Amino acid sequence: MVTGDPAPRDAEQRRRDVLERLEKDVDAWVSTVNPDGSPCLVPLSFVWHGDALLMCTKESRPTARNLRTGGRARVALGHTRDVVLIDARAEFVPSDRLPDAEGEAFAGKLSWDPRGREAWVFLRLRPERLLAWREENELADRELMRDGVWVVPG
């Protein structure tokens, strides 16, 4: 632990901080695996809607292709002193079939509306595992979600 580190947050505070970050942050790093096993890491804008991250990319992009094959992604928010890592399962929604509430949330937050664009697909990433920590003193209790269920009270 680096001298001067703040006291560790309890799990409930970390959950509140994660939810705030999911509401306010705009971009995340999304990691997938190509069929040959090589990694693919890209930044994508997102909206937290309900219990999922909603992102959009062209269907032909490696991220979409990898998720069609593997169905899983790791998403990273924050920086090295305020990390949120999410292991998620992907669902695909054609750009012309996104429910209105999700489409309005996406367009409203990101000032961009790809609904109805033929080459685009929405990715709904449902968290299965979520880890959050700031410093070494929070590593022991960093798992806040397991099997898609929060392990700390809300």
Mean pLDDT of 71-99: 95
pTM of the entire predicted model: 0.92
- Binned at pLDDT 50, 70 and 90, residue 154 comes out as confident
- Residue 29's DSSP bridge partners are 43, 76
- Sorted by where each begins, the domain ranges of the chain are 11-150
- Binned at pLDDT 50, 70 and 90, residue 152 comes out as confident
**What confidence score (pLDDT) does residue 143 get?**
96
**What confidence score (pLDDT) does residue 121 get?**
96
Give dist(CA 154, CA 152) in Å, integer: 7
| CATH architecture of the domain covering 11-150 | Roll (2.30)
**What confidence score (pLDDT) does residue 153 get?**
76
Give dist(CA 45, CA 110) in Å, integer: 8
